[in-house]
Structure 1
Amino acid sequence: MPLTFRKSFRIWPGVRLNINKKSWSLTFGDGNGPRHTYSSSGRRTTSMDLPGPFGYRHTTRRR
């Protein structure tokens, strides 16, 4: 089983700094609406929890 590293810090209410072995990212938003994540690797993700077993996620990459 490989070892992984992941750490998340709450900077301000609604803002998180996420760090893993290869990159870091900032997440804006709380649980009551969409969340926007911007990664140092160029990935941008918008996600939102919907009622029931549904969720929404849209990811784009910088070219």
Structure 2
Amino acid sequence: DESTRNQLALSWGVESHVVPHADNTDAMVDLVDAELLKLNRYNTGDTMIITAGSPPGIPGTTNMVRVHHL
């Protein structure tokens, strides 16, 4: 959510993005890919770290860290 995004803005080297709600983590990662490519600041093959809660949408349940290649 926006509150978490604002808190992460204070962390060095972190760039956070909020994407629409997804029903599962695979759909969420697909949304992340699409949003980042729309920004034209990232390229296919770029490496990033994705943190999320699984299942999505439940505050305070961050339990996933994924090294992801766009």
TM-score, structure 1 length as denominator?
0.30
Which structure carries more strand by proportion? 1
Structure possessing the higher radius of gyration over alpha carbons:
1
Which structure carries more helix by proportion? 2
TM-score, structure 2 length as denominator?
0.28
